[in-house]
Amino acid sequence: MGIEFKRSPRPTLGVEWEIALVDPETRDLAPRAAEILEIVAKNHPEVHLEREFLQNTVELVTGVCDTVPEAVAELSHDLDALKEAANSLGLRLWTSGSHPFSDFRENPVSEKGSYDEIIARTQYWGNQMLIWGIHVHVGISHEDRVWPIINALLTNYPHLLALSASSPAWDGLDTGYASNRTMLYQQLPTAGLPYQFQSWDEWCSYMADQDKSGVINHTGSMHFDIRPASKWGTIEVRVADSTSNLRELSAIVALTHCLVVHYDRMIDAGEELPSLQQWHVSENKWRAARYGLDAEIIISRDTDEAMVQDELRRLVAQLMPLANELGCARELELVLEILERGGGYERQRRVFKETGSWKAAVDLACDELNDLKALD
């Protein structure tokens, strides 16, 4: 099973951002995405929205962009159109890694054959997917570079997750995790950490096995946390919880773009890309999901450890010259702003402790979507 990778001549960028609808009175999710899609299509046909797994969710999708500011500006425009439609229906826009109290049994799935098949196959676990994320695509020039770069990106998994973690609560309970979304999503049979394939041919062989055995009959693909998107000629990074606002999304996208280009240039220079043992990658994922920005992570094959906040500051300094070249230095600096403000999970947990209600955490995320705007 050969898989054609549509090579990208330059490190282009595309972003997908999942946004949910909530009732301003109950703060619960509202399954009215179909109405929103119809209104936006009529009033703003230039806006690209996608129907998502749940009827309460729409996905903002950029076109092919060259820079982070270009992608963020497009998302900002689309978000304004979405807000206009939501306001006309008396709804608010909200997004985070997971909703803190909504009952998954009362949230219908969108009408789509593949979605029905996922539910039929995965049953209880598939029904629980009240989760939202950010997907960042970066163009890659050749398929032989894809897996070396993905394996290198796995060393930065905890950095991206800790920075975006915003799902501390589930079913009205504080889970104790910074990103409960991460723990939920990996339950699906095609989701979770990718294997560290060593070549494109090895990936093709694996996918042939998955097709022959029926693993991907219902989806056509694996939903790995980082994966090749062959149709677009990109690596798709799906690690991050959805951020409650464009400002923090900008930081996640900038860090992702810089990391991919950095590793791509290491290949050009003939340098060895970093990697970690699969068990260290798995442990780092769990630590970031559990502790967020307070995680101590493994940073070498010799099992050296460091605090993820310190590593994030080091990465920003290391990548800043490249960020200047890519036109996203200001957005990369927002990583440091998140460290100062505290992660989304910390802010939600703080307001819950102050009020005793997760409804206040929903209000906070809705307000942040309005107030924490992208850079001018």
| Arithmetic mean of pLDDT, 202-208 | 95
| Of the candidates 132, 123, 112, the residue with the CA atom closest to the CA atom of residue 22 | 132
User: Within a domain: residue 94?
Assistant: yes
Question: Tell me, what CATH number does 254's domain have?
Answer: 3.30.590.20
pLDDT tier for residue 107 given thresholds of 50, 70 and 90: low
User: Within a domain: residue 376?
Assistant: no
| Arithmetic mean of pLDDT, 148-169 | 98
pLDDT at 291: 98
> How many whole angstroms separate alpha carbon 227 and alpha carbon 234?
9
**Which sign, positive or negative, has the C-alpha torsion 204, 205, 208, 214?**
negative
Average pLDDT, the chain: 94
User: Within a domain: residue 5?
Assistant: no
Res. 112: pLDDT tops 60: no
User: Within a domain: residue 192?
Assistant: yes
The DSSP secondary-structure symbol of 176 reads S
pLDDT at 215: 83
> How many whole angstroms separate alpha carbon 71 and alpha carbon 151?
25
pLDDT tier for residue 155 given thresholds of 50, 70 and 90: very high
**Burial annotation 211-225 (CB, 10 A radius, 16+ → b, else e):** eeeeebebbeebbbb
Give pTM, 2 decimals: 0.95
User: Within a domain: residue 361?
Assistant: yes
User: Within a domain: residue 63?
Assistant: yes
Any bridge partners for residue 20, and if so which? 57, 94
Could you give the 3-state DSSP secondary structure of residue 83?
A: helix
**Per-residue pLDDT tens for 68-92?**
999 999 999 999 999 999 999 999 9
pLDDT at 188: 82
> How many whole angstroms separate alpha carbon 375 and alpha carbon 164?
18
**Per-residue pLDDT tens for 11-61?**
999 999 999 999 999 999 999 999 999 999 999 999 999 887 788 999 999
pLDDT at 119: 65
User: Within a domain: residue 96?
Assistant: yes
- Structural domain boundaries enclosing 66: 13-371
**Per-residue pLDDT tens for 290-338?**
999 999 999 999 999 999 999 999 999 999 999 999 999 999 999 999 9
Percentage of residues in the chain having pLDDT higher than 90: 86
| Arithmetic mean of pLDDT, 141-152 | 98
Q: Vertex 339, ends 334 and 343: CA angle to 5°?
A: 100
Token representation of residue 89: 């229906």
Count structural domains, the chain. Answer: 1
pLDDT tier for residue 1 given thresholds of 50, 70 and 90: low
Res. 116: pLDDT tops 90: no
Res. 269: pLDDT tops 90: yes
Range with the poorest average pLDDT among 88-97, 102-111, 130-139? 102-111
Q: CB of 365 within 8 A of CB of 27?
A: no
pLDDT at 108: 62
Q: CB of 136 within 8 A of CB of 15?
A: yes
pLDDT at 106: 72
Res. 110: pLDDT tops 70: no
pLDDT at 151: 98
User: Within a domain: residue 1?
Assistant: no
